[in-house]
Amino acid sequence: MATACASTPRTDATTAFPGADTVRTTRIANGVTHTYAHMPSGPWAIHVIDIDTARCSPVLEVRKPGTILSARATTTAITGDALAGINADFFMLPGGTPVGAHVTHGVPLVGPADRQVFAVVQRGWRVGVARTTGIARTRDDSTAITQINRPGTASAAYTGTRNGVTLFTPWIGDSIPADSAAVRVMMRKLDGNEAGGRAVVVRVGNASDVTRPGAGEVVMFARASAQSWARRRVAGDTVVWSAAVTMPGGERGIEVVGGFPELLRGGREVLSEQTVRADFGPTRHPRTAIGWTARGHLLLVLVDGRQPPFSAGMTLDEMTQLFSRLGATDALNLDGGGSSAMVVRGRVMNKPSDATGERAVGNALVLRECR
């Protein structure tokens, strides 16, 4: 076993990587290391970024390329000059719209669906099924905002989307699908962003045709009980809104990114409690995931795949066991396959499985710096 270690390993390599023929650990920053391990028994090529929060107070960011949700870029490009980054959520082809929520610096670019997210909250991290919470108000007349930039189709939204207001901003792109169940409020934005702002009503009508917002316009689709609020709006009304993505218990997500499925929760394996397709969970693929330990170590983990005899990839159960060996109590799977990429100081550390190299993805989770 060849080892080059710049800091004391948190977990003994014999336990974490049994039978490995190579283990290399290098320092990225104070309290942050990158470990590469190769295990012939898989075969598996494993990459672990370990952030010791006793020595590094991590500044994490969920980054989205471009100015519309469908934009894509490589993890390298998204990570930029940050210390490190990994590919993040699954995305809707042919574009890069995240399947789950995306929040950056407290601003929700797109709301959640019925699947888990990883969230940076005021005190630490959480994994759970998030919701959009918010309010739209004209004077003392208000209604709930239940979604942001996510159409109310069965495949893209959670049940709550069907009762409340969905806020659409320029991140949605140049068109919003028709929604015959919604009342449409077209507005000219005065100021603000998805987390809070003001706009003046231009017109109100039904949303049975495709909506094409003009420059400087935002749109609200009101469904079910919110329709009466929308129908009371008239041209010239000023609408004020505020919105956030919140975790179970009400904590507001500061940085939020989607994933699926949850692997560990409080030290307990929870994979069997979720419905996972046979061609996805029990089949070996390249994997990217995030987790943490009870002792305050945040773990960004990637396993290369689809490249025998170098690395075959892991099943989700094998990924769960890897996190357990690393000492994790909680873990969430992120997008994998050809999307899996880990970047350290601008360099791709793994071997992406696509023949064309690193794939353009919808977003990335980035360690910007330590404080």
Q: Which of 200, 224, 246 is the last residue of a domain?
A: 246
How would DSSP label each residue in 94-121? TTTEESS-EEETTEEEE---SSEEEEEE
Instruction: Give me the residues of the chain with pLDDT under 50, please.
Output: 1-9
Q: What's the Cα-to-Cα distance from 129 to each of 51, 106, 313, rounded to whole Å? A: 25, 17, 27
Is 2 part of a structural domain of the chain? no
365 in the same domain as 263: yes
Domain region containing 228: 131-246
Q: How many CB atoms lie within 10 A of CB 309?
A: 8
Co-location of 233 and 277 in the same domain: no
Residue 107: inside a domain: no
Strand pairing partners for 124?
121
Mean per-residue pLDDT over the chain, rounded: 94
Number of folded domains that form the chain = 2
- Given this model, what pLDDT does residue 153 score? 66
Please name the residues in contact with 187: beta carbons below 8 A apart, sequence gap of 6 or more.
199, 200, 201, 202, 217, 218, 219, 220, 239
The pLDDT score that the predictor gives to residue 59 is: 98
Q: Is 220 contained in some domain?
A: yes
List the CATH number of the domain containing 234.
Answer: 2.60.120
Closest CA to 35 of 271, 302, 258: 302
Based on the fold, state whether residues 205 and 165 are members of the same structural domain: yes
Q: Specify if 21 maps to a domain.
A: yes
Query: Domain ends where: 246, 278, 313?
Result: 246
Is residue 122 in some structural domain?
no
Torsion on CA atoms 323, 327, 330, 336, rounded to nearest 10: -20
Query: What are the residues whose beta carbons fall under 8 Å from the beta carbon of 140, sequence distance 6 or more?
Result: none
**Domain shared by 231 and 316, yes or no:** no
214 with 292, same domain? no
Q: How far apart are the C-alpha atoms of 336 and 88, rounded to whole Å?
A: 9
Does residue 111 sit within a domain? no
Within this chain, do residues 66 and 153 fall inside the same structural domain, yes or no? no
Q: Are residues 225 and 269 in the same domain?
A: no
pLDDT digits (tens, 9 = 90+) for 184-239: 999 999 999 999 999 999 999 999 999 999 999 999 999 999 999 999 999 999 99
Distance linking the first and last C-alpha atoms of the chain? 34
This prediction's pTM: 0.94
What pLDDT sits at residue 157? 54
Same domain, residue pair 161 and 61: no
At 263, the amino acid letter reads: L
pLDDT over 70, % of the chain:
94
212 and 313 inside one domain: no
Residue 112 falls inside a structural domain? no
At which of 246, 272, 299 does a domain end?
246
Q: Which two tokens stand for residue 7?
A: 């800091």
Residues 234 and 273 in one domain: no
Q: Is residue 275 a contact partner of residue 262, using CB atoms and an 8 Å limit?
A: no
In this structure, what token pair is assigned to residue 208? 């049975």
- Are residues 323 and 300 located together in one domain of the fold? yes
Determine phi and psi for 321, rounding to 5 degrees.
-65, -35
**If 0-12 CB within 10 Å is exposed, 13-18 middle and 19+ buried, where does residue 7 land?**
middle
353 within domain boundaries: yes
pLDDT score recorded for residue 4: 37
**Which pLDDT score, from 0 to 100, does residue 9 have?**
42
Same domain, 47 and 137: no
